[in-house]
Amino acid sequence: MKYFLDTADIKAIARLYELYPISGVTTNPTIISNENRDYLEILRDIRNVIGDESMLHVQTLSTNAETMIKEAEFLKEVIGGNLYIKIPVIPEGIKAIKILKSKGMKITATAIFTPQQALMAAVAGAHYVAPYVNRIDNISCDGFNVVKEIVLLLNNYNLDTKVLAASFKNVQQIHNVALVGGHSITANPDLIDDLLKHPLTDWSVDKFIHDWEKIYGDKKMIMYNLHKK
Ligand code: E4P
């Protein structure tokens, strides 16, 4: 499983990169707009925090292939590093994916709602396909099942493309995707924190400390005796 942060919040990115095994950051035009400042500055700030090796996924805005390719080349030049260009799976997007692939660019096919969209994008050359789990769930369909079928199709056709499941609103959705072999997920920082939360974990940690302190006192931690020797 690879974990990505679906955010442009620089402080949150820095905090979670320090704590967790994070493989990259994903953005989309909505996420960038929410920051309400110069978008290139935002992307450069993210790159500075995560470094050149970490994956940064940035979306194009155009709806025609020619301009998508220009946007992709511009982003590659100004942001650089391990950059993935997110392209929506509209017909012009599939055309852009084919051309960008032939130019050696890394591509994430996005705005995926059906297994056939993912398969077409994968055959066109996308490195990642991003199904929107919660947006699928919200129209009374099953986002988890869409991911399951995408994984099956990629395996059936022996494609190297990986699933980057997106649009999560709760831990159970992420768990379901992990159970069916979704290769990676992207979620907002709060939801990534939620993956670790359990009241009994906190209770257990508090009890360990309480029991220890009853005998050894509040200043005598594990290292104390080592220092005495
Ligand atoms: C990521 O690639 C998607 O753009 C994003 O996860 C969409 O999430 P949302 O449905 O919460 O907006």
Q: Does residue 228 sit in the same domain as residue 155?
A: no
Closest CA to 85 of 61, 54, 120: 61
0.75 cut: is pTM over it?
yes
Closest CA to 28 of 53, 60, 51, 4: 60
Q: Does residue 41 sit in the same domain as residue 139?
A: yes
Q: Does residue 143 sit in the same domain as residue 33?
A: yes
Q: Which domain holds residue 208?
A: 198-229
Q: Which residue has the higher pLDDT, 204 or 218?
A: 204
User: What is the position in ligand 1's atom list of the atom closest to the CA of 166?
Assistant: 6
Q: Does residue 186 sit in the same domain as residue 211?
A: no
Q: Does residue 206 sit in the same domain as residue 126?
A: no
Average pLDDT over every residue of 218-227: 66
pLDDT of 44 higher than 60: yes
Q: Per-residue pLDDT tens for 200-209?
A: 999 999 999 9
CA–CA distance, 22 with 26 (Å, rounded to integer) = 11
Domain count, the chain: 2
Q: Does residue 177 sit in the same domain as residue 229?
A: no
CA–CA distance, 98 with 58 (Å, rounded to integer) = 18
Q: Does residue 34 sit in the same domain as residue 98?
A: yes
Q: Does residue 204 sit in the same domain as residue 179?
A: no
The best mutation among 5, 26, 27, 28 to test binding of ligand 1, ranked by most ligand atoms within 8 Å of the C-beta, falls on 28
pLDDT of 220 higher than 80: no
Q: Does residue 197 have an active-site annotation? A: no
CA–CA distance, 130 with 113 (Å, rounded to integer) = 9
Q: Are 185 and 23 in contact (CB under 8 A)?
A: no
76, 86, 106, 148: which one is catalytic?
Answer: 86
Q: Does residue 185 sit in the same domain as residue 219?
A: no
* CATH number reported for the structural domain that contains residue 15 in this entry: 3.20.20.70
Q: Does residue 88 sit in the same domain as residue 181?
A: yes
Q: Does residue 148 sit in the same domain as residue 228?
A: no
Nearest CA to ligand 1 atom 1: 166
**Amino acid letter, residue 206:** D
Q: Does residue 10 sit in the same domain as residue 45?
A: yes
Predicted pLDDT of residue 139: 95
| Residue the block writes with tokens 């090796």 | 53
pLDDT of 229 higher than 70: no
